[in-house]
């Protein structure tokens, strides 16, 4: 149905009576997925490519360009901008392994905007509409300046994602680093538990990897896959785990735990990282594989025993990529701030992660402001988050020079937030600037 409707619309747009005249009010999408970039040289040149074509596009009647997301992405020079990391880095700070974005430098963007707006020699003005992301940012939990303690996530996990008596979606297993800071020397017995698993299915569906790090020694050479072995369900039954090694295991049933003993030779920090896995078959070779699984399959260190005391409820910390500190911004109007866990869902014991609709009204097209589909999901109900994103929009308009915006994934935040964001934008005289939004649903 969607394809048929789209085709009819295209035909209607293409069909014009013989007496009609061309309209000089065309907007063109000025990028596509994976536009060219010099990755080895860390050089984005798409802005320069567009700039060279501006005279021809103006002559063809194009009066506006839909531009790619301008901010530095978490995935470096290859990021298409939707993995936004630093809102105020438009290709002028060395972060994520590159100064330029996939599309170019801040100065190249400025030159493009200047030429688009220029009416020199009687040329028409061309507006530029930036694609921007307000729902989330992407960060790395392994980076010290992006990772920090998140007590809300720890509570959420230890409650097995049940909030107010309702089962919600677990926080992604692989996005949590479990930390025991300043752990004393000695033996620790770490029990791994599971939740939100399909216990009616085959045990191969309920797999996990667990990685332990508890010294500052150089990591050992990679070896063969290491497996947990039964019995290892506590009460004196355990597997011995070595430093900086990964162990693979399964949850047999809903009461199963797997216990690992680690021995600290001296005081240090213990780090535990879990990843949901499953047994599967390679689609090409049909060989058995240990595959990535949905990270909503919940695994966590349910108990940490040391000297007869369970440290899980006290000393054990959950670290997520929600404590973010950027380079110092020095440009005109560029804000300097940090993010912390209260700026992202879930923010407290009453907050939760949604599943995109099925347990929140049953509709596939409703707003889903709590759904963590992309990166770190902003808590847009938070006044600090809302103010910062509004200020960023004003800066993109007044300082950078964008004329309007395409808002990505507006299902991800509440109406009042986006209304305030739009109303906060500097106007053109008394008129609102051009704004269009992406509202995709599960319907076809």
Q: With bands split at pLDDT 50, 70 and 90, how would you rate the model's confidence at 331?
A: very high
The mean pLDDT of the chain is 93
Q: With bands split at pLDDT 50, 70 and 90, how would you rate the model's confidence at 23?
A: low
The values of phi and psi at residue 296, to 5°, are -75, -10
198 and 300 housed in the same domain: yes
pLDDT of residue 358: 59
345 and 432 housed in the same domain: yes
283 in a domain, yes or no? yes
pLDDT of residue 75: 98
Identify the residue whose tokens are 């990028």: 31
pLDDT of residue 443: 57
268 and 309 housed in the same domain: yes
Nearest to 196 by CA among 160, 163, 154, 165: 160
190 and 306 housed in the same domain: yes
When divided into structural domains, the chain yields a total of: 2
Out of 320, 337, 371, pick the residue that ends a domain: 320
| CA–CA distances in Å: residue 366 to residues 180, 357, 378, 411, 439 | 40, 7, 18, 7, 10
Kindly tell me if the per-residue pLDDT of 141 is higher than 70. Answer: yes
Query: pLDDT tens digits, residue range 117-137?
Result: 999 999 999 999 999 999 999
Question: Residues 411-416: what's their mean pLDDT?
Answer: 94
Question: Residues 337-351: what's their mean pLDDT?
Answer: 97
Query: pLDDT tens digits, residue range 65-110?
Result: 999 999 999 999 999 999 999 999 999 999 999 999 999 999 999 9
pLDDT of residue 2: 39
16 in a domain, yes or no? no
391 in a domain, yes or no? yes
Which residues make Cβ contacts (< 8 Å) with residue 280, sequence separation at least 6? 204, 288, 289, 290, 291
pLDDT of residue 441: 77
pLDDT of residue 282: 97
238 and 184 housed in the same domain: yes
* pTM reported for the whole predicted model: 0.91
59 in a domain, yes or no? yes
Q: With bands split at pLDDT 50, 70 and 90, how would you rate the model's confidence at 357?
A: low
Domain holding 154, by residue range, is: 148-320
Identify the residue whose tokens are 């700070």: 93
Query: pLDDT tens digits, residue range 198-240?
Result: 999 999 999 999 999 999 999 999 889 999 999 999 999 999 9
Query: pLDDT tens digits, residue range 249-307?
Result: 999 999 999 999 999 999 999 999 999 999 999 999 999 999 999 999 999 999 999 99
| Cα–Cα distance for residue pair 373/376, rounded to 1 Å | 9
Which range among 3-17, 22-36, 41-55 has the greatest average pLDDT? 41-55
CATH number of the domain within which 335 lies: 3.20.20.80
pLDDT of residue 11: 31
Kindly tell me if the per-residue pLDDT of 14 is higher than 50. Answer: no
Provide the 3-class DSSP secondary structure of residue 265.
coil
Out of 320, 335, 353, pick the residue that ends a domain: 320
pLDDT of residue 294: 97
């Amino acid at each position: 149905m969607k394809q048929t409707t789209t085709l009819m619309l295209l035909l209607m747009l293409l069909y014009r009576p013989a007496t009609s005249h061309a309209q000089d009010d065309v907007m063109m999408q000025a990028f596509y997925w994976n536009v060219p970039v010099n990755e080895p040289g860390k050089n984005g040149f798409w802005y320069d490519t567009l700039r060279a074509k501006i005279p021809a596009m103006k002559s063809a009647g194009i009066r506006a360009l839909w531009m790619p997301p301008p901010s530095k992405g978490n995935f470096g020079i290859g990021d298409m901008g939707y993995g936004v990391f630093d809102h105020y880095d438009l290709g002028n700070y060395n972060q994520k392994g590159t100064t330029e974005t996939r599309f170019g430098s801040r100065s190249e963007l400025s030159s493009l905007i200047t030429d688009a707006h220029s009416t020199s020699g009687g040329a028409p003005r061309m507006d530029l509409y930036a694609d921007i992301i307000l729902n989330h940012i992407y960060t790395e939990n392994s980076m010290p300046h992006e990772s920090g303690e998140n007590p809300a996530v720890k509570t959420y996990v230890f409650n097995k994602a049940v909030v107010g008596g309702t089962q919600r979606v677990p926080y992604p297993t692989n996005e949590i680093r479990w930390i025991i800071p300043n752990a004393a020397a000695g033996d620790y017995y770490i029990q791994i538990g599971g939740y939100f698993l399909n216990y009616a299915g085959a045990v191969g569906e309920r797999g996990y990897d667990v990685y332990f790090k508890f010294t500052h020694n150089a990591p050992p050479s990679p070896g063969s896959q290491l497996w947990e072995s039964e019995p290892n369900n506590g009460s004196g039954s355990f597997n011995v785990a070595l430093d900086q090694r990964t162990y693979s295991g399964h949850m047999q049933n809903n009461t199963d735990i797997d216990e690992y003993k680690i021995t600290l030779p001296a005081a240090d920090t213990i780090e535990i990282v879990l990843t949901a896995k499953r047994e599967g078959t390679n689609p090409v070779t049909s060989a058995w594989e240990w595959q990535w699984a949905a990270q909503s399959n919940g695994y966590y260190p349910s108990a940490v025993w040391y000297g007869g005391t369970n440290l899980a409820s006290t000393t054990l910390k959950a670290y997520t990529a929600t404590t973010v500190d950027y380079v110092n911004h020095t440009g005109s109007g560029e804000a300097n701030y940090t993010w912390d866990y209260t700026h992202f869902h879930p923010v407290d014991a009453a907050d939760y992660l949604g599943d995109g609709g099925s347990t929140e009204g049953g509709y596939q097209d409703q707003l889903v402001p709590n759904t963590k589909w992309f990166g770190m999901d902003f808590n847009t109900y938070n006044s600090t988050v809302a103010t910062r994103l509004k200020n960023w929009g004003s800066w993109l308009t007044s300082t950078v020079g964008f004329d309007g915006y395409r808002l990505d994934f507006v299902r991800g935040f509440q109406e009042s937030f986006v209304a305030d964001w739009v109303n906060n934008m500097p106007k053109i005289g008394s008129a609102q600037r051009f704004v269009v939004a992406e509202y995709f649903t599960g319907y076809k």
